[in-house]
Amino acid sequence: MIEFHQVTVTYAESDAPVLRNVDLRIDEGELALVVGRTGVGKSTFLGAVNGLVPHFTGGTLAGRVVVAGRDTRTHKPRELADVVGVVGQDPLSGFVTDTVEEELAYGMEQLAVPADVMRKRVEETLDLLGIAELRDRPLHQLSGGQQQRVAIGSVMTAHPAVLVLDEPTSALDPTAAEEVLAAVTRLVHDLGVTVVLAEHRLERVVQYADRLIEVHHDGTVSEGDPAAMMATAAVAPPVVELGRLAGWSPLPLSVRDARRRAGPLRQQVADRPRPVRRPPTVRPARLSLRARGVTVRYGPVTAVRGVDLDLQAGQVTALMGRNGSGKSSLLWAVQGSGPRQGGSVEVDGEDPGSLPPTRARARVGLVPQTPADLLYLDTVAQELDQADRESGGVSPVSARDLLDRLTPGIADRSHPRDLSEGQRLSLVLAVQLAAAPTVVLLDEPTRGLDYPAKRSLTGIVEVLAAEGRAVVIATHDVEFVAATADRVVVMAVGDIVADGPTAEVVVASPAFAPQVAKVLAPLEYLTVDQVRVAVGREAS
Amino acid sequence: MPRTLHPIAWWIWALGLATACSRTTNPLLLALIVGVLGLVVASRRSEAPWARAFKYYLALALVVVVIRVVFRSLFGGSVDLASVHVLFTLPHLPLPSWAAGIQLGGAVTVEGTLGALYDGLRLGVLLCCLGAANSLANPKRALRVLPGALYELGVAVVVSLSVAPQLVESVQRVRRARRLRGDASAGRHALRSIAIPVLEDALERSLRLASAMDSRGYGRTGTASPRDRRVTGVLMIGGMGGLCAGAYGLLDASAPGLLGLPALVAGAVLCCVGLALGGRRVHRTQYRPDPWKLPEWLVVASGLVPAAVLVAAVGNGVVALNPSTDPLVWPSLPVVPAVGILIAALAGVVSPPPVRPAPASSRNAPVPSVSSAEPVASAGTAPPVEVPA
């Protein structure tokens, strides 16, 4: 279905190719998963499938890409629209019309599908993806998972043979991600659609893949059977790492496979002492932030309903919950910059909401969901100098030192927009830490980060906690929470519905349990590292 | 059966009323037109955000009237009229000789002010007619009926319409983010710290939209040679010129007769030929096109009646259409034009009622508050509104 013949892609301003001598074929009805570190040519690979690379992006493509018998050299993306459907990372920015039904029809209108066929296909697609009840809804009012399914539906109405998905679940909560992946696997199994999918969160998708395509740093690509590839892959989900640790072969890719093998491992670690998280860093326990009855309303919608929250110094708290459950609103209200209709917040005896912004940020620092909103200067050095000026010299360390401590090796002269997601996050974090806040709030910091980047973020968060700061991380990433948080707070429709130590809250939850917990339940192991420690002790 | 009326029918209806109101300065007739517009808009508009536009047009019309009167008082103060009723006198500024003909200040008369008021009213009611069309017909659906040759133009308009609210949301988000940095400065620095992230955001969004549209088949080319395209261009520009001249001739009663209907017809013909020729290079179909049935014909007819009646009345020299302000007389209500205008109100009865959303749906939440329900309203941060089971 898709053939790459000796494909090399080079962008104009760089000397090294992004993809080098790629030679592979993806057969009809396969689900191919594209993996690799952030910044390698995953998106380039996906773009090459329908000719967006190089027709839309520029650059030079040597070799040949043939899709359903059509060469992308002679066919522009629009002329491949009837065979390849593409869904980008942010579905909202790809929508052309306003309502679900019109969006589903848009692609067909471009392809001049007759009106009666269009009507029929729209109805079929609404049912196929389970979005029939959304048909008249405005697109911007849909939740993230619904938007993603509408985006998939809007390309599926053209009946393409190939579906290309770029990080379809990266912005979604675990339940919404399951919905989207269920829809995708249904397309593969029932309609025989060939799916090419890139995803950082391997734990969500690797078990569905028929073929794994790994893009390496030098632009070369290796491919093969997922279980075989996973034995050596640079990025691997926790269940695979657990399999590697336990020496299982073939490696399990799903929780179900692993659980069936894990009997001996469970017995081996069962009589070990309960895994301990790192000891509290601040003794005796000290309250950093005390919030009572925080309420946030936007017109008729109440986003946060009278929430009480205490944050301990040196404690890392994960804030979880569905998209739209009020996590961001709570963080912004607590910081003082967002609206707050009721309740009180107290940090070091003062309410950050009533302080001027410069002093509020010395109490509570917030890194928003789109960190780039805070950056507007031309170089990293200028941003850091500006941060030092803004903090008014309260911090003993300069922003530059903070950045080097968080992520060494970001050049002074680079442009903030050219940094990778992880580097940009570090830069904004350094800017915010320059004010030496008592409480640090991170809104969805793991979006777009690969496993190594998340590991280094965990390291950064541990340092912040060790310095005696209270850290709150709003996130959907259960694996990251398992590795990083001491405490988990779960929100639903504006209320806190669960609050407790990480192990207690997540092990029992079907949506929020990390893979290791699911494999070893009812034992309270959350991460591969904990298991490694337990097994290691046994050996010694 | 509730359904949306074809947008073009509403536009023709509103333009018919606009033609009628351009023929008169009688405040009673103009008030009657506003009444008809208000009645039909109130009974036949939908719940969509653009349907609330009418009241903004009313406010705009009021501003136009006020500006017209104020300017007339400031610059049009007459000093040499014989039979005038002076309201009050502004200080008169003598102007140099090269500005002869322009008065600054002077006596403000009842006659002059009233004349300005009538003129302003006519312009204001014209605006209200456009406002009524905009709140009755979905602007995006109206663009969808554009012929194939103008399709790209229509898409550009639709996309820019959706960019405006996104820009507003972007600015709000970045302004809030600036407070996180404790950046309370104003002036050039503030402008830079807001404009740069917003523009970068908008640029990235546009690129993503462009690539999405490209991969979904937007702009697939049909069969057209460069020569065809040139001919189309010439025809279209000529036709548009004809249409503009014709519209001007029709709306301004003092224009030469040749500039009116003949120019309009010639322009329309040229445009149609150009569009037909240009449409050949686009291959596209339309999903659920709006039907054109009896209600559409009736609405169009009810809008054209007042236009025809008033144009005919002008031809027959009905004096009451333009009541005199010098000497001052009370405006009287001419019967036939008034009945003609009232016929346009039938559109509120003969058109089908708009589709109302199901009760207790989440759509009851107003759109702006929903899009800002989370500080960062990018993908995946929809507010906790659920579809009722």
Average pLDDT over residues B362-385: 38
DSSP structural state of residue B78: -
Q: Is it the case that residue B271 has pLDDT exceeding 90?
A: no
Mean pLDDT over B286-296 rounds to 86
Contact B197/A375, CB-based, under 8 Å? yes
Rg (Cα) of chain B, in Å, rounded? 26
The answer on A299 and A218 residing in a single domain is no
Q: Residues A307, A207: one domain?
A: no
Any domain includes A206: yes
Core vs surface per residue B190-218: b (16+ CB within 10 A) or e: eeebbebbbebbeeebeebbebbbbbbbb
Q: Which residue has the higher pLDDT, A499 or B327?
A: A499
User: What is the structure's pLDDT at B184?
Assistant: 62
Higher pLDDT, B333 or B107: B333
Q: Does B197 touch chain A (CB under 8 A)?
A: yes
Q: Which residue of B has its CA nearest to A154?
A: B216
- Closest Cα in chain A, distance from residue B188 (Å): 13
Does the pLDDT at position B384 exceed 60? Answer: no
Residue where the block lists tokens 């009837």: A82
For A385, the enclosing helix (H) or strand (E) is helix A380-391
Residues in chain A: 540
Residue B372 is predicted with a pLDDT of 37
Which residue segment(s) compose the domain that A384 sits in? 287-493
Number of cross-chain residue pairs from A and B with Cβ atoms under 8 Å apart: 256
Q: What would the two tokens of residue B4 be?
A: 């949306």
- Does residue A291 share a domain with residue A222? no
Instruction: Say which of B182, B200, B364 has its CB closest to residue A358.
Output: B182
Percentage of chain B with pLDDT > 90? 22
**CB contact, 8 Å: B223 with chain A?**
no
**Same domain, yes or no: A227 and A311:** no
pTM: 0.78
Assigned domain for A536 exists? no
φ/ψ of B55, rounded to 5, equals -65, -30
Q: How far is A76 from chain B (nearest CA, A)?
A: 9
Query: Residue B218 and residue A110: Cβ atoms within 8 Å?
Result: yes
| In the predicted structure, residue B101 carries a pLDDT above the cut 70 | no
CA B356 to chain centre: 24
Which residues from A are below 8 Å from B375, CB to CB? 328-329, 332, 338, 368-369
What residues contact B230, with CB distance under 8 A and at least 6 apart?
A: none
Do residues A225 and A343 share a domain? no
The answer on A319 and A193 residing in a single domain is no
The answer as to whether A12 is a domain residue is yes
Instruction: Please choose, from the candidates B106, B38, B117, the residue with its C-alpha nearest in 3D space to the C-alpha of residue B75.
Output: B106
Instruction: Say yes or no for a CB contact (<8 Å) between A107 and B210.
Output: no
Examine the domain organization and report whether A17 and A111 are in the same domain.
yes
Alpha helices in A446-487, H assignment, sequence order: 451-466, 478-484
Whether A540 is in a domain gets the answer: no
Domain assignment present for residue A118? The answer is: yes
Question: What ipTM score was computed for the predicted complex, to two decimals?
Answer: 0.86
pLDDT of residue A5: 94
Query: Domain of A19: which CATH number?
Result: 3.40.50.300
Minimum-distance CB partner of A417 among B192, B200, B209? B200
Residue B346 C-alpha, separation from nearest chain A C-alpha, in angstroms: 30
Which residue has 């200067």 as its token pair? Answer: A377
Facing residue for A328 by CB, picked from B214, B362, B374: B374
Contacts with A72 (C-beta within 8 Å, 6 or more apart), sequence order: A48, A49, A50, A51, A55, A61, A64, A65, A66, A80
Residue A333 in any domain: the answer is: yes
Measured between beta carbons, the chain A residues lying within 8 angstroms of B373 are 298, 301, 303, 324, 329
pLDDT reported for residue B376: 38
Asked if A31 contacts A188 with a C-beta cutoff of 8 angstroms, the reply is yes
Range scoring the smallest mean pLDDT among A106-115, A431-440, B247-256, B286-295: B247-256
Chain A partners of B371 at a C-beta cutoff of 8 Å? 140
A330 shares a domain with A201: no
Same domain as A291, residue A391: yes
Same-domain pairing of A35 and A131: yes
Distance CA B249, CA A79 (A): 46
DSSP for B328-360, written as a single string? B------HHHHHHHHHHTTHHHHSPPPPPPPTT
Contacts of B387 in chain A (CB under 8 A): 133-134, 137
Neighbours of A186 (CB within 10 A): 14
Which of B:268-287 have CB within 8 Å of A? 283-287
Q: What residues contact A469, with CB distance under 8 A and at least 6 apart?
A: A288, A313, A314, A437, A438, A439, A440
* Of the candidates B15, B249, B290, the residue with the CA atom closest to the CA atom of residue B146: B290
- In 3D space, the residue among A17, A28, A66, A526 whose CA is nearest the CA of residue A278 turns out to be A526
Instruction: Give the pLDDT band (50/70/90) at residue B13.
Output: very high
The model's confidence at residue B363, banded by pLDDT at 50, 70 and 90, is very low
pLDDT digits (tens, 9 = 90+) for B106-137: 778 888 888 889 999 999 999 999 999 988 98
CA-based nearest residue to A252, from A519, A29, A490, A432: A519
Same domain, A50 and A190: yes
Give the minimum alpha-carbon distance from A520 to chain B in angstroms, rounded to a whole number. Answer: 32
Q: How many domains does one find in chain A?
A: 2
| Strands A316-321, A470-474: pairing kind | parallel
Nearest residue on chain A to B356, judged by CA atoms?
Answer: A136
Question: Closest residue of B to A331, CA-based?
Answer: B375
Q: Is the dihedral of CA B279, B280, B283, B284 positive or negative?
A: positive
B176/A86 CB distance under 8 A: no
Contact of B291 with chain A, judged by CB distance below 8 Å, is answered with no
A107 and B CB contact within 8 Å: yes
Domain final residue, candidates A235, A254, A274: A235
Whether A390 and chain B come into contact, CB under 8 Å, resolves to yes
Element (H, E) at A19: strand A19-26
Q: Is residue A186 part of a domain?
A: yes
Q: Nearest Cβ partner of B369 from A299, A358, A374?
A: A299
Instruction: Determine, yes or no, domain membership for A474.
Output: yes
A384 and A318 fall within a common domain = yes
A93, A169, A201, A334: best to mutate for the B interface, most B CBs within 10 A? A93
Q: Using one digit for the tens of pLDDT, what is the confidence trace for B29-82?
A: 999 999 999 999 999 888 777 788 888 999 999 999 999 999 888 876 555 555
CB A307 within 8 A of CB A330: yes
Q: What share of chain B is helix, strand, coil (3-state, %, to 5)?
A: 65, 5, 30
* Predicted confidence pLDDT, tens digits, chain A (540 residues): 899 999 999 998 888 899 999 999 999 999 999 998 877 888 899 999 989 988 888 889 999 999 999 999 988 898 899 999 999 888 888 888 878 998 999 999 888 899 899 999 999 999 988 888 888 888 877 888 888 899 999 999 999 999 999 988 888 888 888 888 998 999 999 989 999 999 888 888 999 999 999 999 899 999 999 988 888 887 889 999 999 998 888 889 999 999 999 888 888 888 777 666 666 666 677 889 999 999 999 888 889 999 999 999 999 999 998 888 889 999 999 998 888 999 999 998 899 989 888 888 889 999 998 888 888 888 999 989 888 888 776 667 788 888 888 788 888 888 888 887 788 888 998 898 888 899 999 998 988 788 888 888 898 899 889 888 999 999 999 999 999 999 999 999 999 999 999 988 888 788 889 999 999 888 888 889 888 888 875 554
Last residue of a domain, one of A476, A493, A510: A493
Task: Give backbone dihedrals phi and psi of A253, rounded to 5 degrees, phi first.
Answer: -110, -25
Q: How far apart are CA A276 and CA A526, in angstroms?
A: 10
Q: Give the nearest partner residue to A141 out of B362, B374, B380, using CB atoms.
A: B362
Half-sphere exposure of B179 (CA within 13 A, CB side): 21
Which residues does A500 contact at the CB level (< 8 Å), separation at least 6?
A: A487, A488
Measured between alpha carbons, how far apart are the two ends of chain A, in Å? 53
